[in-house]
Amino acid sequence: MAKGLEEGFTIIAPKDDHPVVYIVSDSIGETAELVAKAAVSQFNGGNVEIRRVPYVNDPQDIVDIVDEAQGQNCIIAFTLVLPELREVLVREADKHNIPTVDIMGPFLDALTLITAAPPKLEPGLVRKLDEEYFRKVEAIEFAVKYDDGKDPRGIQRADLVILGVSRTSKTPLSMYLAHKRIKAANVPLVPEVAPPQEIFSLSSHKVIGLTIKPQQLNVIRTERLKTLGLTSNADYASHERILKELDYAESIMKRVGCPVIDVTNKAVEETASKVLEIYYRGERYR
């Protein structure tokens, strides 16, 4: 019996000599099974048994499947993106007069005509795209939940932790990284507030420090105060306060031992590129 034949197939009221639809796929076979069920429903079920055979990627598996199917009242429906596997299945089925239904092949051929590009011929791409989408959504939700040090529990769960004083673009950077499917938590560094102890137990490549030139930070904070309707001479934007915060942040980053990126006059995309380079280099060699 072919590998996987005992797993994941749905049985609908089988009886002696009942019709059988084999679903053969190089991925999980959900697409072909949905098509088969839709067709079967047009016959009020028709006592049809649907057998799903997933993750078929070896020609010998196909030979085994056809050998089992021969002599039964059956058809074989398949979603195989590799042409060589499709050819083997059709050839073996023809030997035993078993009808086949190629669900994927004709569509791939038609799309090739209108896109003027060859298909990737990579099994399971739809599922991979779905997984990437949900990972991105999860990372975005993570960035929102653990923004600005709201919950230190996120530090241990994060792929990356961003440190920096106020207005060094920690939040935009975290959101940008989330769209790259990286869960980033960010922690503001304020002299009057002790940083969460969790940051000192992380691998250094999982923590990134952000710094900025005092003059630019003064401009940014002054503009921020204006948008809030506050006077620009508040302590928040004073030169002395900014230097105190930057010195404090530098001392924390040295304790952590993390890389530090100067974000002065840098777009978020440029900073993110450097962050990703550091992160993936660390993942590769850890």
| 144 assigned to a ligand binding site | no
204 is in an annotated binding site: no
251 is in an annotated binding site: no
Does 168 appear as a known binding residue? Answer: yes
| 271 known ligand binder | no
Coil, helix or strand for 211?
strand
DSSP 237: G
Q: Is 170 annotated as a binding residue?
A: yes
- Alpha-carbon dihedral sign for residues 172, 176, 181, 184: negative
147 vs 131: CA distance, rounded Å: 24
165 is in an annotated binding site: yes
Dihedral, 250, 254, 260, 263 alpha carbons, nearest 10: 0
**Is 29 marked as a binding-site residue?**
no
Q: Are 177 and 143 in contact (CB under 8 A)?
A: yes
Whether the CA torsion 61, 65, 70, 71 is positive or negative: it is positive
Contact 269, 177 (CB under 8 A): no
Cα–Cα dist 231/145, whole Å: 31
Pure H helices in 170-267? 170-178, 214-227, 239-256
Residue ranges of the binding site: 164-171
Residue ranges of the binding site for ADP: 164-171
